[in-house]
Chain A
């Protein structure tokens, strides 16, 4: 077994328990735990709240053999607080504290779980490239990732992908290419999604105002 200690970093503003990112990461962690990996979780947005929280998060990263970053795609990349935290990790590295901040002499593994709000999981590609680049810059092992389109993160296909990902990670094997089943055709997603927005607006008493332009000259 390659990884003994795994740390899940949840990068959703909704937190660990109330987010898809937390649930997906939790399922991967459970599968790793079954294989004897020690696991822990952190909410990235909470790290910025105090210097102590940041120090403690950096120490947790330093102690990990495997970091699982689980987050929603925000504007083709990571949410801002996640980038801010990764900048801190990288600063530690360039600040001459590489060993202290990066576990086994800078050779922690990084695995990305990412989901976007569009049906095409391919829209996560740039964020995957950014994660891989981060791993290269801080000297971590890039293990790859699982990219989910909208509504692809539940169901049998996702469960299988997470199980196979965990197996490969725990055994130090390359992550298999896993094609996730499409939840529905993209046109149907757009059609149903547009109805859903109108329904939500109506609930909030703003039906008919979804196209408001408050900042128009």
Chain B
């Protein structure tokens, strides 16, 4: 099993929590690749649909966004690690997330009563969303969890878990990380 962690922090603030997460993934038997997106050259999605109708399955922009999409297509577990930003994800994470569109099919499907896209690949990775906040904030946490749930619908993730950790010392980071991994266990 392999996990891909997309680190959406602009600086090193999340590194302590990331280390705890990486340890929990290793304990659960995952080989883990961590991509610090701040170090990656990833241009914004052009909204051109080229990845569906010109070069199916690959973005028309030749930069490190392609490498992220390739790794995301091949992993068993995708972890989105981000400062919770207005209830959503950071721009650092989102620049990569927007470029994952090639990994789904343009063809539409009905999923849980809504229109979404069909899978491109035979199997899709499960999804963990781990958001970080300076202190507990129930409203921001609720928005973040809803966002991750909707992402899972769009990405056709078979299993999904989301949590928010507060940096004020009130969160048991190890227990939260282990709980997330258990929730998406095969």
Residues of A within 8 A of B (CB): 12-14, 45, 72, 74-81, 83-84, 86-87, 90, 118-120, 122-123, 126, 129-131, 133-134, 137, 186-187, 189-190, 193-194, 197, 200-201, 204, 206, 209-217
Contacts and interface: CB of A to CB of B under 8 A. Distances in A.
29 contacts: A74-B45, A75-B100, A75-B154, A79-B94, A80-B91, A80-B95, A83-B86, A83-B90, A83-B91, A84-B91, A118-B114, A118-B116, A119-B115, A123-B150, A126-B143, A126-B150, A130-B87, A133-B87, A134-B86, A186-B115, A187-B110, A190-B108, A190-B110, A190-B115, A201-B53, A204-B54, A206-B53, A206-B56, A211-B107
Contact of A210 (B97, B101, B106, B121): B106
Contacts, number: 149
B89 interface: yes
A211 to B, nearest CB: 6
A90 B88 CA distance: 14
- Which range contains the number of B residues in contact with the other chain? 35 or more
B30 interface: no
A82 to B, nearest CB: 8
Contacts of A74: 45, 47, 94, 98
Most buried by B among A87, A90, A189: A87
The binding surface of chain B is classed by DSSP as: mixed
Given A133-B143, A215-B73, A75 B151 contact: yes
Contact of B57 (A86, A129, A131, A215): A215
A214 B58 contact: yes
B69 interface: yes
A134 B48 CA distance: 28
